[in-house]
Structure 1
Amino acid sequence: MDDPAKVVVQIRSYIGEGRYEIAEVMAQELSTHLLHSKRDIHLDAVLVTALREWVRILHLRGQYSEAHSAARRLAKARRVRLKQIASSGDADAWSDEKQLEVEDLILHGRIESERGRLRSSISRFNKAIRIDANHLEARLSKLGSRWRIQGSLKGGKRDVLQLLDALDRSPGVERIGGVMGMRNGDGALVSLDRIQSILNGVVDPSLGLNKGINERGKYCLVKIDSEAAQIEAGEREADARLAAAIDSLQPSMDYHSYSSS
């Protein structure tokens, strides 16, 4: 087999190109090969990456049972990798791998949600939140899973309150890379559309939450809308000032024509 690390790069390239079928075949073959081969620390790291890509492509292709099985293999390989990093004392590598673990757990939670496994899904999201309490997407996905499987948010009062508290701790709405969203601490930005889609369920009295939570959700939505409007208004004002400044630099007289006359 070619250099396993290069194969992973090729798999990612195929995923980026939308060539999911060949990406899946390559990810499965590479993962299976590494699982049954003698490995050193380097190949253990490649195995984790290969399994991660395999889980991702299976999820993208809607093969949720297979994705669940691959995710369990990933969890086992990741534990081995984390022990190796802990032994090395590399704090940066540990932090990076733990953050990747959070993303793995969230994806596994979504896979379990697609399989209709509420308890298993919530368990994965809870593990992600224990690692990174500032991860808004983990909290949103947890509620989204309950809503998807139950058709309501009944039983999710505590999760809703924790989400609202997390949103309150956020510095507010911001635009990063053209995307309007919110985040906590150094956590990833979550788009407003994603946040609002879950909050729309929180404010819906037919989904099993009490009136007090409905009202708090409404307040949160109004606050988010207001902050987003302020950002857009500020950007429009800044654009107008820039346009005026550019106009002021344009000569009011055609000096070339004037000097020729």
Structure 2
Amino acid sequence: MIIIAGKPEFVFDDSTLSELERSIYQKKKSSTFEYRYDSVEVLLFELRVRTQIVESARLLSKSGVRFADFKHSKCNEAFWDRNDKGGFELKKGVAPHDGIKDIFNNGRLYAFECATAVVLVLYKAILESIGPKQFDVLFSDLLLYDWHYSSNLHLKERTHPEDAVAGDLLYFNNPDFDPATPWWRGENVVKLEKDLYYGHGIGIKTAEEFIAKLNSFRKPKSTQSASLSDRFDQLDFSSLWQLTSSNQGRFIIAKVGTITYVNHYQPN
């Protein structure tokens, strides 16, 4: 169930939501979990960012970046300095948004593992949602390394992965992984549409395909299958909204009786 400012009844104009946004909205609306928003603008902002997360995941999958463990990670040294742990630190004088965009534009110069990839997807989605000026202010402390991320990027942990929607971050666990290939102990993924996920090093696959791939890297004679973890993460969209101001005034909200109607604002 979706509750906005204490009220459950909102009607969106057909042009307000994209097909993906509408499917996310409908799944959250039909859930037994209560999703509470201070305003309709916060909900719409979340839907826009989730769409960008999906798009960014698809772009990264096509960018030419390669999979590598920390020991063998690589970056474009014109934008990033590789530290002794295999992480990437933004080079002095490089704008954060330029550093992020270069990875998507020159992916063949980069190699990293799956946790770095999903954090990178979030950064790209936020950049496209709030613009380079605000992005550079909020994420001036960029470090790409495992699950390390900026102090202004907040994640919330949830249970019940069946409630996850497009733009959430999930994990396929492979407890019986072969010690000879420790990087296949699991796979961090971004949920896309329906039963599709993006995981760096494997690509865009269904849950069944991710499990089959991980199972191929188990110990000999193992009988314990890989599986989807019972916990997942999602961006704290409300927190991000509060840090930005560029999304104000994009919608017309009108009340008729007990129902609130939401339309896209098209300036002249």
Q: Which of structures 1 and 2 has the larger relative contact order (alpha carbons within 8 angstroms, sep 6+)? A: 2
Report which of the two structures shows the higher radius of gyration computed on alpha carbons. 1
TM-score by length of 1: 0.24
- Larger helix proportion of the pair: 1
TM-score by length of 2: 0.24
- Larger strand proportion of the pair: 2
